[in-house]
Amino acid sequence: MIRELASLDYAPFGVEQDRLRIAMCAPLRRLQQKTQVFPLDVKAASRNRLTHSLEVAEYTRLIAYELVNQVKEVNLLQILSPIVSCLYNAAILHDIGNPPFGHFGESLIREWLKKTVNCDYVKSEITDFEKDDLLTFNGNAQGLRLVHSIQNLNLTLGQYASVIKVPYTIKELLLGKGKGESGNGIQGDFYSWSYSNAGVFLSEKNLLEAIREGCGRDTRHPFATIIEYSDDLAYVLADLEDAFDRNMVNKHMVIRLCERISEYPELGELQPHLDPEKIRTLFKQGKTEALFYLREVISYFYIRDFSAAIANNLEHFLNTGEPDFSFGDYPGITVLKMLKDFEYTAVYNHFEVQTLDLSGASYIRGLFGAYETLLTQSPEDFSRELVATGGEPFCMRIASRISRRHKVAYTEACQENSFSEMYLRIRLLVDYISGMTDTFAASEYRVLNGIH
């Protein structure tokens, strides 16, 4: 459902109404038990998806204020308040569709979908387009589906647009649309990239068309890019601190990183601030002082340089939704990329992180293994099992565990008759399991496997 404004007087308050609806929705609260890097972590100091989203929101606000200073062609100060509100809302929503166990969880769900769409009892029941669409599962597209089709938050069109990283369905991407509009760049070939980055599922195609008509564009919304770059800044700096607290990273590793950074003279005025001797002195005063200093310096230059990249070619940014720059052009952006590369090896591939991921893999595979039994049922039996009026006893019991809101979304979509029933049934299972928190997924796995 898309909001129809009662009057023009209501329009200026649209994004503020969006903010209230977002703050009150249950999936936002669930982010408290979805972790950034360390699944099932019991340490209160480590970031979860909710605290991370709040940090991203603060960085987007700072970028908005910096753009007011740097953009001279337009008086952004006049519209600063709605800009900040829309960016803040988008930042809070940007991870809301992420499944339990983060990006590794995404890959596990795609793995299950790839197996499932080729099963004899499924492949003859769905179209080729539906099959391709199911294979594109990712947290960004799932987030759009969650807030629009399942939670029915009824947000403004601009707000929806601001959270879509790649504003195309897989069908459009495979036809070549959107090639080159991939945010921070395509990793690997465009075909493979498309299957893990399509920003809109076919089930939300009508919303995408309404956004294009309402916003007058089919390219990425500029705010979505600001969110993506703010997200990079927030998670890279936060993951360094969290890894330090868990002794995955130590002061010697950070100092060596600063030594490598000092070898790049093109970093200009940023370079003296990351002088290895300066960082070594700060660590002698305490790790808190050193990490706080690194966060402040890197975030300051990153925000300044990213805003400058936008301001230096504002028309291009507004038309395409992408800043026009090379990473080497701006010291703050270059240093963050170097820090990201460092963390990829030192943190994300750490034995402890991978061990936790393997536990998550067991939970997700086990959950789908239990719930996929529902896909073997006839549409008639499944409809009875869903409302507990008949069907196989096991299927009826496991269907009863699916939340009411997900069942309503499935039933309403079936009544619209735009997609095959099997496509919608698979979506139902993915919606339910991907919406679980890390802790609930682990608990549900234990229940279904008789583990006490």
- pLDDT, residue 267, reads 82
At 372, the amino acid letter reads E
Given a contact cutoff of 8 angstroms between Cβ atoms, the answer to whether 240 and 291 are in contact is yes
State mean pLDDT over 411-421: 95
Query: Between 59 and 42, where is the model more confident?
Result: 59
Is residue 214 classed exposed, middle or buried when 0-12, 13-18 and 19+ CB atoms within 10 A define those classes? middle
- pLDDT, residue 189, reads 62
- pLDDT, residue 43, reads 62
Query: Under DSSP, is residue 216 helix (H, G, I), strand (E, B) or coil?
Result: coil
- pLDDT, residue 74, reads 75
CB atoms within 10 A of CB 411: 14
Task: Summarize pLDDT for 340-370 with one digit per residue, the tens.
Answer: 999 999 999 899 888 888 999 999 999 999 9
Q: Band the pLDDT of 45: cuts 50, 70, 90.
A: low
Partnered with residue 320 across adjacent β-strands are none
pLDDT above 50 for 178: yes
Q: How far apart are CA 274 and CA 299, in angstroms?
A: 13
Residue ranges covered by each domain of the chain:
17-111+138-223, 249-344, 353-448
Q: Count of H helices and E strands in the chain?
A: 24, 0
Q: Which residues, in sequence order, are CB contacts of 171 under 8 Å at separation 6+?
A: 129, 132, 133, 202
State mean pLDDT over 43-56: 86
Percent of the chain with pLDDT over 70: 92
Q: How far apart are CA 448 and CA 344, in angstroms?
A: 35
- pLDDT, residue 44, reads 59
Q: 298-330 burial string, b = 16+ CB within 10 Å, else e?
A: bbebbbbbbbbbbbbebeebeebbbbebeeeeb
Q: Band the pLDDT of 197: cuts 50, 70, 90.
A: confident
pLDDT above 90 for 46: no
Q: Which of 156-160, 188-192, 273-277, 305-309 has the lowest average pLDDT?
A: 188-192
Q: How far apart are CA 272 and CA 331, in angstroms?
A: 12
State mean pLDDT over 94-115: 95
Length of the chain: 452
- pLDDT, residue 269, reads 86
Query: Between 443 and 185, where is the model more confident?
Result: 443
Task: Summarize pLDDT for 223-275 with one digit per residue, the tens.
Answer: 999 999 999 999 999 999 999 988 999 999 999 999 998 888 778 888 889 99
Q: How far apart are CA 172 and CA 105, in angstroms?
A: 25
Q: Band the pLDDT of 183: cuts 50, 70, 90.
A: very low
- pLDDT, residue 9, reads 41
Given a contact cutoff of 8 angstroms between Cβ atoms, the answer to whether 269 and 331 are in contact is yes
Percent of the chain with pLDDT over 90: 72
How much is the mean pLDDT over the chain? 90
Task: Summarize pLDDT for 387-396 with one digit per residue, the tens.
Answer: 999 999 999 9
Given a contact cutoff of 8 angstroms between Cβ atoms, the answer to whether 389 and 399 are in contact is no
Given a contact cutoff of 8 angstroms between Cβ atoms, the answer to whether 50 and 28 are in contact is yes
Q: How far apart are CA 142 and CA 99, in angstroms?
A: 9
Q: 112-148 burial string, b = 16+ CB within 10 Å, else e?
A: bbeebbeeeebeebbeeebbbbbbbbbbbbbbbbbbb
Give the pair of three-digit tokens for residue 440. 């609930």
Q: Which residues, in sequence order, are CB contacts of 102 under 8 Å at separation 6+?
A: 34, 35, 36, 37, 39
Q: Band the pLDDT of 36: cuts 50, 70, 90.
A: confident
- pLDDT, residue 3, reads 42
Q: Which of 285-289, 327-331, 354-358 has the lowest average pLDDT?
A: 327-331
The CATH homologous superfamily for domain 17-111+138-223 is: Hypothetical protein af1432 (1.10.3210.10)
